[in-house]
Structure 1
């Protein structure tokens, strides 16, 4: 085995720890293909050598533009081994968006599969490309690294892009030190080990993929990538792979339930189930728990700017429901080592307000400093990240999620929380889940449209039942039944698409 580097701050140290625990065990499996820890380590060292050769001054930022295949996972680890920042991108995004992200991140080299190479060509950027088709030739001219490059805690490990309010994606640099704090905390909280099998469910450009990969690799566990077809027969796939750790966005629960995949006791191998990325409903968790009776379930919360997740709440049927607001599972206390405050207008509140967090997981700012305006706060001699989320704080530090600040809209002079309308609609007979959006009203201003799944219910019936929960000013003007909600690239409910459809403009900007 090739000599490895001494322990340090690098995110890749997680993989080296797994390598020591499970050298001959599976590290990553994609369909019928798999690599052991030793095999993935050796491939990553070779590719890291190629990256070094392609950029003699140092491959500072490496894009991984590939579908979820071995090229992508080798590329992620290789970039880290080379001392570069990983910039994971979805090759199926519009070309202009991809071009903008590659340029903003200052990418010097791209690791791509066939789909990624085609996507890069559409951007018309002239960047060096490494992929499986070049491996033999590149390996002949570039020696594999003997060991991963040393990095410091302030060096960038990942650059991830989030949606921007202007339609321009915002680049978020996450450091090795921030990741080190995060995973040290997770190691103390969970009992993952070499016998575990993790799902790899979200896109590699989604921050939660860092959780899936490096929780598993730090424990010497296997990562099993879910193909799209597996979601239709999820229980069978989980049973076949003996999967023990699940991660997805909450919308996945309603999707699986809608196709009959949440029957009681059908996922007995799961030990842990994690949900993050959007509000998690108590009723959804109860259904998931019935299907996975031996699984502990956690609701994780955190914007990318705070390094993947910054709070966590472990589900308890009685305690969690008693604390829920609008049927949403609590998000838990802020991670140890961090401070938070609740901003209420220009002042602070001890009970309710916008959640602001500071600490070692906080990104220093966006790649473009112009994006920092309004997102970071200077107070008490410290810099805080403004999450844009309204929470309520209980006496024991538990946080209850109330909704996005930008989900608070004015309807005929009434201040309306979309989460409250969603919750009220879910209480109506026959409704399984509901998402409310706004559209321009004929007389000016905004009006509400509710999309819902479950049984098709006459609008008059829905209005009558909602009138018991909502004042007239909050009453939706239209109800639209859908078999299932559209999901975006990160498998979250695509509210923007629903809003465009409600407004009669289904095609939005890229």
Structure 2
């Protein structure tokens, strides 16, 4: 059986009456959780879920979603969480991209996925029928779960993460929790991000293998500063992982209680020193900056922040830090060549953390998952072929050895902790019948701005209608805040996008390019 499931079963024996999951729908002890997972696994097995075949899960946030995922792991079936907060077409695209052979849905939801050709099934997550089927024994390189990232073609990419990588990360964060845990006492860990993204995995797997309590905070509560602060205080939450923008918005509203008692983990986007100072002024928790693309399993670099130290304060953001156990990183230049310390380059990651690639996307996998250069293998990579992941992040190594994030070297951005491919938003706009061409740009202060050329110059599209169409396909974070209709997209003499002119257009400099309509 996987180390994750073995640890969960062990904790049910050691701490049977300890709360494992706390959610709006139920509170489950470790013994009850394992019995329900076993029961759900038996039911899924009867419905045809097989070892090694992927199971997609389209359930609301809460204990049923977690039970279904763990039940799939019990059977050796990788799970893929479909986020019900996403647009309907986006959800269906995720089901297709997952290559799932079964789809767990809620009562009455079958019709929403009927066209995908994947058999749907409904299971009880409140059953308690005994030990359940025999636990699967997956290999380290077998897929544990599938997580979706944005794709440049408008189609989600499915990252296949092996048990080896999930176990390596969970062991690391479990050791971090051990360092801050009061002697013999469980920690209270809050999960405030979707389980469909691996940002949300931080508070789930490491806490459950450590015998701690996971609080699945519902979306209305987590988005309301006062309600979230009340929840954190009432449940004495010790550990929280959040994006910087989420926490900053709460603190800006004066909601001091939103901070955990012991450990605040930031991830998903750059962390500013101003926010670090806000946390220090409003709470006593430690701060850990955390970095890791989905393709390298949740997190690979960490930086323990001490607000009293002035080291690295001159950097634009808090450093990403150093690699966790089992992970190696290097800053490389063109053709993966070495760059001197302090020089900028792309972050290359390898080790126990690297995913197996993108399901059904060989070219995309080959572009990002590459052979480790010989000069790195000879310095400790070993003689066997090693796969490394090209992050696309521009970084530099500081004198302390910590990695500093400088930006992206492609057209992928992070908004509210979610990775957005600008090309995906452009593709969705071009699918609108009244749009001939589209370009999307990202501004750190204002978010996404879209520029569209109408299919019929005499009948420009209504930007409110465009937004409505985008909401049917894209996540909320991917909807441009401003859509401007242009006669043409400006190009440089070399035929490339003229970003300077677009910036002027965005500032309403109508003398540069004729603007038909711009609506905020």
TM-score bin, normalised by smaller chain? 0.7 to 0.9
Measure how far apart 1:56 and its partner are: 6.6
Partner of 1:236: 230
Alignment of 1:187-198 (within 5 A): 187-191=174-178, 194-198=185-189
Determine the C-alpha separation between the residues in 1 that align with 2:286 and 2:141.
34
Partner of 1:498: 481
| 1:183 counterpart = 2:170 | yes
Provide Cα deviations, 1:253-289, integer angstroms capped at 9, x if missing partner. Answer: 2220233213xxx467611111111111111121123
Partner of 2:410: 406
Partner of 2:157: 170
| 1:26 counterpart = 2:19 | yes
Partner of 2:29: 36
Partner of 1:338: 327
Determine the C-alpha separation between the residues in 1 that align with 2:518 and 2:147.
29
Residues 447 and 244 from structure 1, CA distance in 2 versus in 1: closer, same or farther, beyond 3 angstroms? closer
Residues 495 and 53 from structure 1, CA distance in 2 versus in 1: closer, same or farther, beyond 3 angstroms? closer
Residues 407 and 82 from structure 1, CA distance in 2 versus in 1: closer, same or farther, beyond 3 angstroms? closer
Q: 2:396, 2:406 within 8 Å by CA — same for their partners in 1?
A: yes
Partner of 2:304: 314
Measure how far apart 1:105 and its partner are: 2.1
Residues 283 and 14 from structure 1, CA distance in 2 versus in 1: closer, same or farther, beyond 3 angstroms? farther
Deviates more, 1:366-375 or 1:63-72: 366-375
Residues 240 and 341 from structure 1, CA distance in 2 versus in 1: closer, same or farther, beyond 3 angstroms? same
Measure how far apart 1:318 and its partner are: 3.9
Residues 25 and 57 from structure 1, CA distance in 2 versus in 1: closer, same or farther, beyond 3 angstroms? closer
Determine the C-alpha separation between the residues in 2 that align with 1:305 and 1:178.
10
Deviates more, 1:335-344 or 1:211-220: 335-344
Q: Secondary structure at the match of 2:141?
A: coil
Q: 1:197, 1:245 within 8 Å by CA — same for their partners in 2?
A: yes
Q: 2:200 aligns with which of 184, 187, 209?
A: 209
Q: 1:18, 1:221 within 8 Å by CA — same for their partners in 2?
A: no
Determine the C-alpha separation between the residues in 2 that align with 1:220 and 1:286.
32
Q: 2:288, 2:305 within 8 Å by CA — same for their partners in 1?
A: yes
Residues 323 and 124 from structure 1, CA distance in 2 versus in 1: closer, same or farther, beyond 3 angstroms? same
Q: 1:298 aligns with which of 288, 293, 305?
A: 288
**Unpaired stretches in structure 1, ≥5 consecutive residues:** 1-7, 409-417, 423-436, 454-487
Alignment of 1:304-383 (within 5 A): 304-319=294-309, 322-326=312-316, 328-346=317-335, 347-351=337-341, 352-368=344-360, 369-378=362-371, 379-380=373-374, 382-383=386-387
Q: 2:190, 2:217 within 8 Å by CA — same for their partners in 1?
A: yes
Provide Cα deviations, 1:480-502, integer angstroms capped at 9, x if missing partner. Answer: xxxxxxxx9xxx99366236576
Partner of 2:138: 151
Partner of 1:106: 99
Determine the C-alpha separation between the residues in 1 that align with 2:34 and 2:298.
25
Q: 1:376, 1:385 within 8 Å by CA — same for their partners in 2?
A: yes
Measure how far apart 1:218 and its partner are: 1.3
| 1:270 counterpart = 2:264 | no
Partner of 2:503: none
Determine the C-alpha separation between the residues in 1 that align with 2:443 and 2:329.
35
Q: 2:49, 2:77 within 8 Å by CA — same for their partners in 1?
A: no
Partner of 1:249: 243
Q: Secondary structure at the match of 1:172?
A: strand
Residues 9 and 447 from structure 1, CA distance in 2 versus in 1: closer, same or farther, beyond 3 angstroms? closer
Q: What TM-score do the two structures reach when normalised by structure 2?
A: 0.73
Residues 446 and 105 from structure 1, CA distance in 2 versus in 1: closer, same or farther, beyond 3 angstroms? closer
Partner of 2:388: 384
Alignment of 1:101-140 (within 5 A): 101-114=94-107, 117=110, 119-121=112-114, 123=115, 125-132=117-124
Measure how far apart 1:221 and its partner are: 1.2
Provide Cα deviations, 1:73-119, integer angstroms capped at 9, x if missing partner. Answer: 11111111111101111123233332232223221222223485564
| 1:219 counterpart = 2:202 | no
Residues 73 and 324 from structure 1, CA distance in 2 versus in 1: closer, same or farther, beyond 3 angstroms? farther
Measure how far apart 1:299 and its partner are: 0.6
Q: How many residues align?
A: 425
Determine the C-alpha separation between the residues in 1 that align with 2:258 and 2:439.
47
Residues 450 and 90 from structure 1, CA distance in 2 versus in 1: closer, same or farther, beyond 3 angstroms? closer
Structure 1 segments, 4+ long, off by >6 Å, are 437-440, 444-448, 503-507
Q: 1:325, 1:402 within 8 Å by CA — same for their partners in 2?
A: no
Q: What TM-score do the two structures reach when normalised by structure 1?
A: 0.74
Q: Secondary structure at the match of 2:197?
A: coil
Q: Secondary structure at the match of 2:338?
A: strand
| 1:68 counterpart = 2:58 | no
Q: 2:49, 2:55 within 8 Å by CA — same for their partners in 1?
A: no
Measure how far apart 1:356 and its partner are: 0.5
